[in-house]
Amino acid sequence: MKIGILVFPGTWSHQDFEHVCRDVVGIDCGLIWHKDTSVAGYDCLILPGGFAHGDYLRCGGIARFSPVMEAVVAFARSGGPVLGSCNGFQILCEAGLLPGALLRNTSLQYRCRWVHIRTESVSTPFTRAMRPGQVLKVPISHGEGRYYVPPQELAALEAQQQIIFRYATPDGQVTPEANPNGALDNIAGVCNAGRNVVGLMPHPERASEALLGSTDGRLFFTSVLESLAAATR
Amino acid sequence: MVEARIHVTLKKSVLDPQGDTVKSGLASLGFSGVEDCRIGKFMVLKLQESDPQKARAQVDEMCRKLLANPVIEEYVFEISEVAG
Amino acid sequence: MVEARIHVTLKKSVLDPQGDTVKSGLASLGFSGVEDCRIGKFMVLKLQESDPQKARAQVDEMCRKLLANPVIEEYVFEISEVAG
Amino acid sequence: MREPQRITPDLIAQHGITPDEYQRIIAILGREPNFTELGIFSVMWSEHCSYKSSRVHLKTLPTTGRCILQGPGENAGVVDIGDGLAIVFKMESHNHPSFIEPRQGAATGVGGIIRDIFTMGARPIALLDPLRFGPLTDVKSRFIAGGVVAGIAGYGNAVGVPTVGGELCVSETYAGNPLVNVFCLGLAPKDRIFLARAGGAGNPVIYVGAKTGRDGIHGATMASETFDEGSEERRPTVQVGDPFREKLLIEACLELMAGDAIVGIQDMGAAGLTCSTCEMASRGGTGIEIDLALVPLRETGMIPYEVMLSESQERMLLVAHAGREHEVMRIFEKWDLDAVIVGRVTDDGLMRVLNHGKVVAEIPARALAEEGPVYRRPMERPAYLDEVQAADLSRIPVFDRPADVLLALLASPNIACKRPVWQQYDHMLFCNTIVEPGSDAAVLRVQGTGKGLALAADGNGRHTYLDPYEGGKLAVAEAARNVVCSGARPLAITNCLNFGNPERPEIMWQFGEAVRGIADACRTFDTPVTGGNVSLYNETLGTAIFPTPIIGMVGLLDDVRQATTQWFKAAGDAVLLLGESRDELGGSEYLKVIHNAETGRPPRLDLDRERAVQAVCLEAIQADVIRSAHDCADGGLAVALAECAVTGPERFGGRFDLPGEFRADSILFGESASRIVVSVRPSDVEAVAALAKRHGVACTRLGTVGGDDLSFRGKGFAFSVPTAQAYEAWDTGLSKLL
Ligand SMILES: Nc1ncnc2c1ncn2[C@@H]1O[C@H](COP(=O)(O)OP(=O)(O)O)[C@@H](O)[C@H]1O
Ligand SMILES: [Mg+2]
């Protein structure tokens, strides 16, 4: 089983995901250059953080047209597990694989800090190893993480339990104070209708070793391992 | 050669904190009369294209595909002929 | 009530990395004819001010003081009357 | 821009070239220079590029040591950290550009120092940003500070190099002249360091990266130029940074340097194409010939003078082995970057610049790069020193409300929490950051080795103003102390020396004394100087800034798990002071904030005592007998104790007895050097005391961690402050202003 980590020009978290996959969790992984046109041979795709194409115009706006994205879309449509973190989340939204958009933080400033997120749904390939309502300690690092969907769509997301994470207090309260960027309803992560594509602003790869302050991020990797194993069974 | 002047603005329903900040910034500078402030993008493209009709169609496609995000933004543009 | 439509753009000789990147982005999308792309800001202000003359003077001052950065940017604006 | 037809004395003067220097140019060329050559000499022989005023002093700095692989002279210093790895680091200033356009000025400063690092073949993994501004209560200074921080965030975050620490100090002295220094550190395989040398006659010279525009061309000369209409647009333009392109450059260059297709590589920083060509030729003992017609241009109508002097960002020059060009081209094509062969290496030692095949400049490269003027400028002890050093501090009244003083100090911008700044910086990228901003030094792990690196930047302009020699020593000592408190052994330093106009004897004296202090301290701590940067002419209206040497110190932890933070860990722990408090109020933050006085003698630093105190702290950390260590600096002992109590993830109270038989404010807030506050398990007190004894270092029990208040007792005072209140003051002090 092999994880493919996409690299766009300006991506910078791919090394960290590679490190966690290889050195921490022990999953086979490989980098996929944005000019490649195939993702064959990979069982799971990760779109990491960074500033693809400098995040010029709109975060992820240009990256979604990279040659590799056709293959990514096909992989997602066929039910393959796809995770987008930070810039990767923004790209997935721009590509239409996830609902909504990510806007400039209400503070108008970049924010790099630890936050807590509450797991709203464990029925995705990336959250199945978590407990419902489990609070995770993970870092954020972004200037444009304010999640937005039009009101009517929000209701639909709620109804179909497509909201996967909400910013919360350490004890799981969803409060305005716990919201670092002004995201609608404290939304930190969502999934698509097929539930196989998940995006979130935080960085699980930065929270996968005790030495770095949290191991909660590992759950994303163990989850996808479990679900892939289950799928092949 | 034609020039396209494109305005991309946030939909009314979308909060514009930058606009709000500029508004309060102006207030603190003593400009009390500012009722509202919205901030968008202004793009000027020069196209190697003689036929304004074709140009218009092209630019509209550019906006739909890349220059604006329909979830949060709307766009308008004018086309004018300019010297190469 | 008057509305001011302000365009703030980078001076010609100032590098516009965003514009350049969007230009190549459009090219890779197949829009080969794009010769140049410059990206600036577009601001719409609503002012509690009946006298267009006064409004014009005010907005000009706002631009100089806050809305534009004279070191690298230039600005133009129009004023029009709108229903409160 | 049109070329002036004749080289007039005016034109020469406008290029900042003295009559003597002009004669030297004629001697080198054997003829009069043309306009392009004059421009080339003017930038290469400018203070910034030639170090003509500072060189004689910098020569006295210790630059060699066991682990030093590359000292000053290349783009950055290189230090061996074992396991086949080397660290590459350097600090640069971007003071003046940041004053003109804070955001872009700071951004391009970050871009520039990052290029210095990956030019050597190292992947940049960390930035520090020591900053100095005027009082943030002043609108202009707040605007500058906000712009600078936004610029560093905007560039550093996008390019993908975490900013893990820095400094922010405010003082009236910087109001008209902010300081923006940026430190960058990179990691490389020890045996794959690249140097900025041209070699092998016939080898192709390749230009890579952004196109060349009229960015940042020499203001003086433009002023002299006769403008025709529409030339408004052609005035020198502020450089705008493009972190995205820089990111591509990093990846492309590192990919290229993983192979052996290139001979040498150099970034185009100040004096862009001019500096990179003649320096590579000079270092390589070769010549270089380039044709400007081949240089990718962004603007039309640029004349050779402009192309050679342009400071457009995100450009590099490299020399490839003949026949390997295609490998270079292939890699840069992959990253969508321009790569153009603009010339070749020659063996005639000349920097020959052609334009469409016609020679427009021809200068001996070595003479231009290495044989510029060197001045031993007159030095004279400034008159103000007698006055400030003789100041009778006993005339300054002792406060009556110590609790309010403590709160005021905790809230003062120099001491208050810097989170409003560093939360705007990605400081976690690469999963190396073990100790985040907020403790004495940042600690990064070195993946795959179990080792760690501690990084700190320090420098106190007020101390250096009151005594330049002591100020130089104190800056190195505090930086080393910060690194030691984090559990690391100081390895080496880089520095940024920010001073006034060197043509004034008293400024030159300040400079010479500060450098002497830095040199003495570096010898004592065995931390050689691997490079740095000198920024002179930091003046407004004839008044110089406080002389401000900033030290960037790097330390090594053999076991990164021993990384130690400054905050208390548990109630019941004993709090000890390593080192002694003396009656030293001079130059303190307390005098400034409470009495608005910047006078007296700065704390005296006994280098051997300092070394001993640091040895105790480091051995105690390595023996795992202390739980926190914090150096005692701005605000003195009371502030240091409060910081231990409130700056961590968990807040504590504590009761403390402060030693000292002198005036109360001096006991509480005096800034005697060579002091470290540590907290230890009760069972370890003896072990630490024994260690201190062995090194002949005073070890005083100050008190115990615990409770909800911070209580202080000592000769002439007894008061307490609720921990929550102390935290509030410290936490909001800066955010209220920024
Ligand atoms: N401009 C800045 N950018 C990033 N971090 C900063 C900045 N200024 C201060 N810090 C961080 O805040 C903490 C406290 O800074 P400072 O009070 O200068 O420490 P010290 O007094 O021990 O040198 C340090 O970890 C430092 O790295
Ligand atoms: Mg310190």
D168 lines ligand 1 (CB under 6 A): yes
Chain C residues near residue D210 by CB distance under 8 angstroms: 15
CA-to-CA separations, D639 to D391, D480, D618, D647, in angstroms, rounded: 25, 20, 22, 11
* Rounded Cα gap, residues A198 and D679, in angstroms: 45
Does residue D228 register a pLDDT over 50?
no
Pick from A41-50, C12-21, D176-185: least confident: C12-21
Nearest CA, atom 14, ligand 1: D438
Does residue D409 register a pLDDT over 90?
yes
Ligand 1, atom nearest to D441 Cα: 25
- β-partners of residue D72 are D74
Q: What is the pLDDT of residues D561-570, one digit of tens each?
A: 999 999 999 9
| A205 flagged as catalytic | yes
- Would you state the pLDDT for residue C84? 64
List, in order, residues 6 or more apart from D558 with CB less than 8 Å away. Answer: D450, D451, D489
Q: What is the pLDDT of residues D187-201, one digit of tens each?
A: 999 999 998 888 888
Domain B2-81 classification at class level: alpha beta
Q: What distance in Å separates residue C48's CA from the closest CA in chain D? A: 27
Beta-carbon separation of A57 and C39 below 8 A? yes
Does residue D502 register a pLDDT over 80?
yes
Does residue D226 register a pLDDT over 60?
no
D39 lines ligand 1 (CB under 6 A): no
Does residue D220 register a pLDDT over 80?
no
Tokens matching residue D212? 């060349």
* Rounded Cα gap, residues A51 and A34, in angstroms: 13
- Would you state the pLDDT for residue D555? 98
Residue of B nearest to C58 (CA): B31
Does residue D406 register a pLDDT over 60?
yes
CB pairs under 8 A between B and C: 96
pLDDT confidence band for D399 (50 / 70 / 90): confident
3-state SS string for D266-321: EECCCCHHHHHHHHHHHHHCCEEEEEHHHCCECCCCCCHHHHHHCCCCCEEEEEEC
Give, as one character, the DSSP assignment of residue D74. B
What mean pLDDT is predicted for residues D138-163? 97
CB pairs under 8 A between A and C: 20
CB D489 within 8 A of CB D619: no
Other CB atoms within 10 A of residue C37 CB = 26
CA of residue D433 to ligand 1 center, whole Å:
15
Q: What is the pLDDT of residues D589-615, one digit of tens each?
A: 999 999 999 999 999 999 999 999 999
CA of residue D602 to ligand 1 center, whole Å:
21
Length of chain B: 84
pLDDT confidence band for D221 (50 / 70 / 90): very low
- Would you state the pLDDT for residue D4? 84
Residue of C nearest to D100 (CA): C71
The structure tokens 């092949």 sit at A232
What mean pLDDT is predicted for residues D616-622? 98
SS3 A40: coil
What mean pLDDT is predicted for residues D494-511? 97
CB D598 within 8 A of CB D465: yes
| D94 flagged as catalytic | yes
Nearest CA, atom 3, ligand 1: D166
CA of residue D481 to ligand 2 center, whole Å:
7
* Rounded Cα gap, residues D409 and D729, in angstroms: 9
Q: What is the pLDDT of residues C45-59, one digit of tens each?
A: 999 988 889 999 999
Residue D445, chain A, CB below 8 Å: the answer is yes
CB pairs under 8 A between A and D: 82
Q: What is the pLDDT of residues D158-172, one digit of tens each?
A: 999 999 999 999 999
* Rounded Cα gap, residues D320 and D333, in angstroms: 16
Beta-carbon separation of C35 and B46 below 8 A? yes
Ligand 1 pocket: which of D98, D132, D167, D425 to mutate (most atoms <8 Å of CB)? D167
Chain A residues near residue C18 by CB distance under 8 angstroms: 54, 56-57
* Rounded Cα gap, residues D355 and B48, in angstroms: 30
CB D190 within 8 A of CB D69: yes
Q: What is the pLDDT of residues D463-489, one digit of tens each?
A: 999 999 999 999 999 999 999 999 999
What angle, rounded to 10 degrees, do the helices at D139-159 and D102-118 form? Answer: 40
List, in order, residues 6 or more apart from A133 with CB less than 8 Å away. Answer: A118, A119, A120, A172
CB D281 within 8 A of CB D195: no
* Rounded Cα gap, residues D444 and D438, in angstroms: 14
D15-34: buried (b, 16+ CB within 10 Å) or exposed (e) per residue?
Answer: bebeeebbebbeebbeeebb
- Would you state the pLDDT for residue D230? 45
CB D491 within 8 A of CB D554: yes
What mean pLDDT, rounded, does chain C reach?
Answer: 93
Cα maximum dimension of chain A: 48
D181 lines ligand 1 (CB under 6 A): no
Of B37, B21, D101, B28, the residue nearest C6 (C-alpha) = B37
Q: What is the pLDDT of residues D58-81, one digit of tens each?
A: 999 999 998 999 999 888 999 999
* Rounded Cα gap, residues B30 and B26, in angstroms: 7
Residue B39, chain C, CB below 8 Å: the answer is yes
Handedness of CA D318, D323, D329, D330 (dihedral sign): negative
Kindly list the protein residues that place their beta carbon closer than 5 angstroms to ligand 2, a single-atom ion.
D 440, 482, 631
Structure ipTM: 0.93
Give, as one character, the DSSP assignment of residue D172. G
What mean pLDDT, rounded, does chain A reach?
Answer: 97
What mean pLDDT is predicted for residues D5-22? 91
What mean pLDDT is predicted for residues D413-436? 98
Beta-carbon separation of D428 and A112 below 8 A? yes
Of D369, D371, D195, D197, the residue nearest D283 (C-alpha) = D197
- Would you state the pLDDT for residue D2? 78
Beta-carbon separation of A65 and C21 below 8 A? no
CA-to-CA separations, D547 to A177, D135, D534, D668, in angstroms, rounded: 43, 17, 12, 27
pLDDT confidence band for D222 (50 / 70 / 90): very low
Beta-carbon separation of B9 and C42 below 8 A? yes
Nearest CA, atom 8, ligand 1: D167
pLDDT confidence band for D236 (50 / 70 / 90): low
Q: Among C10, C12, C14, C15, which would you mutate to test the D interface (most chain D Cβ atoms within 10 Å of its Cβ)?
A: C15
- Would you state the pLDDT for residue D218? 65
The structure tokens 């709307």 sit at B74
Chain B neighbors (3+ CB pairs < 8 Å): A, C
- D263 exposed, middle or buried (CB, 10 Å; 0-12, 13-18, 19+)? buried
Q: What is the pLDDT of residues B27-57, one digit of tens each?
A: 989 998 899 999 999 999 999 988 989 999 9
- Would you state the pLDDT for residue D233? 44
Does residue D231 register a pLDDT over 50?
no
What mean pLDDT is predicted for residues C10-35? 93
Percentage of the residues of chain D whose pLDDT score is greater than 70: 97
CA of residue D649 to ligand 2 center, whole Å:
17
Nearest CA, atom 17, ligand 1: D415
Beta-carbon separation of B72 and A103 below 8 A? yes
Please give the helix or strand (H or E) that residue A180 lies within, else none: none
Residue D258 identity (one-letter amino acid): A
Does residue D224 register a pLDDT over 80?
no
Which strands make up the sheet holding A2-7, listed edge to edge? A28-33, A2-7, A44-47, A82-85, A197-200, A187-191, A163-168, A111-119, A135-142
CA of residue D165 to ligand 1 center, whole Å:
6
Measured in degrees and rounded to the nearest 5, phi and psi for residue D522 equal -60, -35
* Rounded Cα gap, residues D306 and A47, in angstroms: 43
Q: Among D1, D108, D144, D240, which would you mutate to test the C interface (most chain C Cβ atoms within 10 Å of its Cβ)?
A: D240
Percentage of the residues of chain D whose pLDDT score is greater than 90: 90
CA-to-CA separations, A133 to A113, A119, A165, B42, D677, in angstroms, rounded: 22, 5, 9, 44, 42
- Would you state the pLDDT for residue C50? 85
* Rounded Cα gap, residues D165 and D439, in angstroms: 9
What mean pLDDT is predicted for residues D534-538? 94
Give, as one character, the DSSP assignment of residue D212. B
- Would you state the pLDDT for residue B84? 65
Which of A9, A23, A51 is facing D335, going by the closest CB pair? A9
**Domain range list for chain B:** 2-81
Chain D residues near residue C16 by CB distance under 8 angstroms: 240
Of B24, D246, B41, the residue nearest C10 (C-alpha) = B41
Of D396, D382, D385, D398, the residue nearest D601 (C-alpha) = D385
Q: What is the pLDDT of residues A208-220, one digit of tens each?
A: 999 999 999 999 9
Please give the helix or strand (H or E) that residue D340 lies within, else none: strand D339-346
Residue A56, chain D, CB below 8 Å: the answer is yes
CB A107 within 8 A of CB A35: no
Catalytic residue selected from A21, A29, A44, A86:
A86
CA of residue D438 to ligand 1 center, whole Å:
6
SS3 D672: coil
- Would you state the pLDDT for residue D380? 97
Helices (H), D543-696: 589-595, 607-622, 636-646, 664-669, 685-694
Of D372, D516, D477, the residue nearest D58 (C-alpha) = D516
- Would you state the pLDDT for residue D553? 98
- Would you state the pLDDT for residue D196? 85
What mean pLDDT, rounded, does chain D reach?
Answer: 94
What mean pLDDT is predicted for residues D526-549? 94
Nearest CA, atom 15, ligand 1: D167
Of D46, D52, D87, the residue nearest D70 (C-alpha) = D87
Helices (H), chain C: 17-28, 52-62
Q: Number of helices and strands (H, E) in chain B?
A: 2, 3
Pick from D8-12, D407-411, D674-678: least confident: D8-12
Q: What is the pLDDT of residues D343-384, one digit of tens each?
A: 999 999 999 999 999 999 999 999 999 888 999 999 999 999
Beta-carbon separation of A50 and D433 below 8 A? no
- Would you state the pLDDT for residue D223? 38
Catalytic residue selected from D48, D57, D427, D630:
D48
Does residue C71 register a pLDDT over 70?
yes
pLDDT confidence band for D239 (50 / 70 / 90): confident
Q: Which ligand sits closest to the CA of D484?
A: 2
CA of residue D68 to ligand 2 center, whole Å:
26
Q: Number of helices and strands (H, E) in chain C?
A: 2, 3
| pTM: predicted TM-score of the whole model, two decimal places | 0.95
- Would you state the pLDDT for residue C26? 95
Tokens matching residue D321? 């082995």
List, in order, residues 6 or more apart from D320 with CB less than 8 Å away. Answer: D203, D204, D206, D261, D262, D263, D327, D328
